[in-house]
Amino acid sequence: PDSSLSSSPSSPPSTAKTPLYQPAPLPLHILIVGCGLGGLAAAHTLSSSGHSITLIESATAIGEVGAGIQVTPNVTRLLERWGLGEKMKQVAVRPEAIVFRRYSTGERVGYTRWGSQFEEGVGRGAPYYHMHRADFHKLLFDLAAPNMELRLNSTVVSVSPSSPSNPQPSVTLASGEVIKGDMIVGCDGVKSCIREVVLGKKVVADPTGDAAYRAIIPTDLMLQDPELRPFVETPEMTAWMAPGRHLMAYNIRAKKEFNLVLLHPDDGSVESWTAEGSADKMRTDFGDFEPRVRKLLSSVSSTLKWRLMDRLPLDSWVHPSGSVVLLGDSCHPMLPYRAQGAAMAIEDAAVLGNLFSKLESREQIKPLLEAYQELRLERTGNTQASSRLNQHIFHLPDGPEQRHRDAEMRKAMLAELY
């Protein structure tokens, strides 16, 4: 299993000095809907390309859920070029490897080295980081905020694409206010209402059959326990694989907090970033895991839980008028089993911003949006598919296929370590 992803070998090497965005000859007023990681990245890249940005968000305050996130080298490379290298270092933990374990015994069956060797090779100089989502969101918010108008507490309820009689596309808010712009970027997540406008029909994301519990434990408790201390002190991320389930665990916030993501069959959760789950039910669902995991879970006081959605690639991300486009989870929701959902949204933003730094005339808007889709669709579609494949690989039932997987992983681990 490959839980990371690097960028395509053809992209240029990392350098903070490379000027990525030039002010476009024709600046637009762009409406971005959604202040998630994708919306903020797009606000940064499009404003860096000289466009004026209004970012519209339904929440009343800026923030992210209390959970960790893996930030892979294909993203950190971009963020370094955006000048966030030092700030990332301050809030991130840099793991050196991922260890795969058998759920019931804790036996180590697989090992992939990250650290400097991996980063210099596959990562091409960019680090692999673990962060708290709120810290990551704040980094992007602080980057984008000076160059955008932010409209909080503003839920978009309808969108009017441009038309011959109405050349300016607009969004209507729940308050009834209409905001006009030159282009609309739908970064409104997995339940996107803008997706419906772009496709002209309701197209929802599909349940994957899995749901996630998430929890954070303070590491001071773990450091007092000789069995749990190594999870904090060893610079490794751990993944336990079980029939129909897996558990990812890693340090965040200068190793003061330990993040747990527990993937399991969906038994009626809701699709929401903020729904509370039952910590007791979580302990029961993972009650057949090795004693150290049960000990870890015994110190969880509260948990978030949500249903995991994905879907097959969409036919189009661009409205036929060429005035509305999708980005991030709104167009390519995926299982988090390669840690690439936010990564793909941020890559989308990098490409969109770069293309729109070339805009010279209004006639170019639609072809540039189509070029964006063309550049992104295959890569995001492959990532959706490989994330699905990891669901199969991680969750094999005990039996011949699982034993074959573990044997192959052990072989690769021995080659890696000795």
What span, in angstroms and rounded, lies between the C-alpha atoms of 214 and 175?
A: 34
Candidates 16, 59, 270, 407: give the one binding ligand FAD (CB under 6 A): 59
When asked if residue 95 is in the footprint of ligand FAD (CB under 6 A), the reply is no
The phi, psi pair for 328, rounded to 5°, reads 75, -145
When asked if residue 407 is in the footprint of ligand FAD (CB under 6 A), the reply is no
When asked if residue 342 is in the footprint of ligand FAD (CB under 6 A), the reply is yes
Q: Which is nearer to ligand FAD, 188 or 236 (CB)?
A: 188
Starting at the edge strand that comes first in sequence, how are the strands of the sheet with 108-113 ordered?
A: 108-113, 97-102, 236-242, 245-252, 257-265, 206-218, 303-310, 276-277
Q: How far is CA 323 from CA 120, 198, 214, in A?
A: 40, 9, 38
In which residue are the tokens 């002190």 written? 233
When asked if residue 351 is in the footprint of ligand FAD (CB under 6 A), the reply is no
Candidates 24, 28, 53, 69: give the one binding ligand FAD (CB under 6 A): 69
Comparing C-alpha atoms, which of 247, 221, 223 is closest to residue 233?
Answer: 223
Q: Which is nearer to ligand FAD, 212 or 368 (CB)?
A: 212
Q: Which is nearer to ligand FAD, 88 or 359 (CB)?
A: 88
Q: Which stretch binds ligand FAD (CB under 6 A): 187-195, 199-207, 231-239, 405-413?
A: 187-195
When asked if residue 210 is in the footprint of ligand FAD (CB under 6 A), the reply is no
Query: Min. distance of Cβ 191 from ligand FAD in angstroms?
Result: 7
When asked if residue 34 is in the footprint of ligand FAD (CB under 6 A), the reply is yes
x/- string (CB under 6 A) for ligand FAD, residues 256-275? -----x--------------
315-319 contacts at long range (C-beta below 8 A, 24 or more positions apart): 315/199, 316/198, 316/199, 316/373, 317/198, 317/369, 317/372, 317/373, 317/376, 317/377, 318/198, 318/366, 318/369, 318/370, 318/372, 318/373, 319/161, 319/197, 319/198
Q: Which is nearer to ligand FAD, 24 or 343 (CB)?
A: 343
Q: Which is nearer to ligand FAD, 186 or 359 (CB)?
A: 186
SS (H, E, C) 167-201: CCCEEEECCCCEEECCEEEECCCCCCCHHHHHHCC
When asked if residue 277 is in the footprint of ligand FAD (CB under 6 A), the reply is no
When asked if residue 126 is in the footprint of ligand FAD (CB under 6 A), the reply is no
Q: How many residues bind ligand FAD (CB under 6 A)?
A: 31
When asked if residue 340 is in the footprint of ligand FAD (CB under 6 A), the reply is yes
The answer to whether the CB of 325 falls within 8 A of the CB of 318 is: yes
When asked if residue 39 is in the footprint of ligand FAD (CB under 6 A), the reply is yes
Which amino acid, residue 131? M
Rule CB under 6 A: which residues touch ligand FAD? Answer: 33-39, 56-59, 69-70, 155-156, 187-189, 193, 212, 261, 308, 328-329, 336, 339-343, 345
